[in-house]
Homo-oligomer: A and B are copies of this chain.
Amino acid sequence: MAPRALDGSADWPTIQVDLGDRSYDIEIGDGVLDTIGQRVAELFPHSRAVIVTDDNVGALYGNRVRASLEGSGIEHATVCVAAGEPSKSFSTLEDVVTQVLDAGMERGDVLLALGGGVIGDLAGFAAGIIRRGIKFIQVPTSLLAQVDSSVGGKTGINTAQGKNLVGLFNQPQLVLADTSVLDTLTDREMRAGYAEVAKYGLIDRPEFFTWLEDNFEAVLAGGSARAQAVATSCQAKANVVKADELEQGSRALLNLGHTFGHSLEAAVSYDSQRLVHGEGVAIGMVLAHEFSARMNHCGPEAAERLVAHLEKVGLPTRIQDIPGQDFTVKQLMTAIAQDKKVERGALTFILTRGIGESFVAKDVPDSAVREFLELKLTH
């Protein structure tokens, strides 16, 4: 079954991530989940498959994926981990690797990462190290994963020192983003993913940001506007990744809002009751725009316009929106300094000259960041 046409006129286009011999497709649309058996059989004839998922997503979609595999005569096994960020750990990685090996998977077999960002990062990492690399397909089931973490090959786990400090660049061989599965997300998860959608407008697509201002309700509601937003986001990310796969330079633009956002996530000890990743990104993007204004790269109106939009969406925009007020400047600065985007002690930030005009700023003085955060924490 091909992905269903979204507007009645044509099949939804497939987006290509163009990386030479590591190129792959992203297929987006309602129902692509049920094509997985057929796609595995086409891409990897005679291979077996292991589904890596979490207990929430596995319960919702595991049977559909297994039915599709069986329909194409593909032997399969399932490895299930606990849902949530704590599974991005060395111990869960070891569990997954061990179970995949116990299932007898060989180098030509394929791992299906069925879940949100946690599963994509964890299982993509596992796929890269099992027998020094087995095939893998990302099957993202959250908005965040569909528009961000499943595309571009970054995989990894967290350690006590910070998020994603251990991992690999490991490109999947296919991404299947079924937009209909987003219907089972909570409003909070949907909004959190939306922060990453808005990010692509802020990076370099001002017309997409304007479109989102007009259409965000339809995007959150589902149907063709949502699929269009996912496709535009994936295309934007694919372009950035193509230009700089291994993050030597311009790929850092994708971190807009993430340095501040990660520091807030670290400050709440990754307690998702208080803050989920996309919410941290939302606040972080506002901080990046405000800090850009303070550094005279743009006027205050960019941040004001961003705040107005994110508030309409229902996303937090200020540090004070996070429940519990125990943040200190020192704590945030420590997390920022440990962030992997630090180079030789100088701070690298993604700043902006206005909506859709972001740029990589190296050698940002940490004193300027500290003063800015002092201001934000006392307001």
Contact = CB atoms under 8 A, between A and B. Distances in A.
A131 to B, nearest CB: 5
A160 B98 CA distance: 8
Contacts of A98: 159-161
Contacts of A160: 98
B167 A129 contact: yes
Contacts of A101: 159, 161, 165-166
Contacts of A159: 97-98, 101
B133 A169 contact: yes
A154 interface: yes
A91 B340 CA distance: 23
Contact of A342 (B106, B343, B344): B106
A94 interface: yes
Contact of A131 (B94, B128, B340): B340
A130 B94 contact: no
A154 B94 CA distance: 19
Interface in A82-115: 90, 93-94, 97-98, 101-102, 106-108
A379 interface: no
A interface SS class: mixed
A347 interface: no
Contacts of A6: none
B169 A156 contact: no
Interface string A140-156: 00000000000000101
Contacts of A247: 132
A36 to B, nearest CB: 21
A168 interface: yes
Contacts of A344: 46, 106, 108
A156 B102 CA distance: 18
A364 to B, nearest CB: 16
A131 B165 contact: yes
A98 to B, nearest CB: 6
A167 B343 contact: no
A108 B165 contact: no
Closest 10 CB pairs of A and B: A101-B161, A90-B94, A131-B340, A129-B166, A132-B167, A132-B169, A97-B166, A101-B165, A132-B168, A131-B165
16 contacts: A90-B93, A90-B97, A97-B159, A97-B166, A101-B165, A102-B161, A106-B342, A106-B343, A107-B340, A107-B343, A131-B165, A132-B156, A132-B167, A132-B169, A133-B168, A133-B246
